[in-house]
Amino acid sequence: MNLLTILLQAAAGGSQWSGILMMIVIVAIFYFFMIRPQQKKQKEIQKAREALKPGDKVITAGGIYGKLKEIGDTYMLIEIANGVHIRVDKASIFASAEDAQQK
């Protein structure tokens, strides 16, 4: 027990810089393995949404398949059946149906 106490006190004395270094390493790991890939994926989805035009087949985040009829500033009008149109927010368009079938 005495040896354990000495080792813990020795480790605690030099832990100021090692604790700061460990926090920096953890932040870097989170950034490179979690945050950065998510940002890249969001940029790709945004580019795909901007490239859509009326007549394209799309899939919404809720899983609804349809054809774009109109694109507004904040919404898209989708035809899901003959004569049945729904208005959805642009952010809810997940992907082009052609892109989803390729993956």
In the prediction, which pLDDT does 7 show? 54
Distance of alpha carbon 39 from the chain centroid = 6
Among 6-15, 68-77, 93-102, the range with the most confident prediction by mean pLDDT is 68-77
Domain spans of the chain? 1-51, 53-103
In the prediction, which pLDDT does 22 show? 81
Decide: 99 and 59 in contact? Cβ < 8 Å.
no
pLDDT higher than 70, residue 83:
yes
4-13 per-position pLDDT tens digit: 666 566 555 5
Environment class of residue 76 by beta-carbon count within 10 Å: exposed (0-12), middle (13-18) or buried (19+)? Answer: buried
Residue 3's pLDDT band (cuts 50, 70, 90): low
In the prediction, which pLDDT does 77 show? 95
Residue 33: CA atoms inside 13 Å, Cβ hemisphere, count? 6
27-69 per-position pLDDT tens digit: 899 899 999 999 998 898 888 888 889 999 999 989 999 999 9
Q: What is the CATH number of domain 53-103?
A: 2.30.30
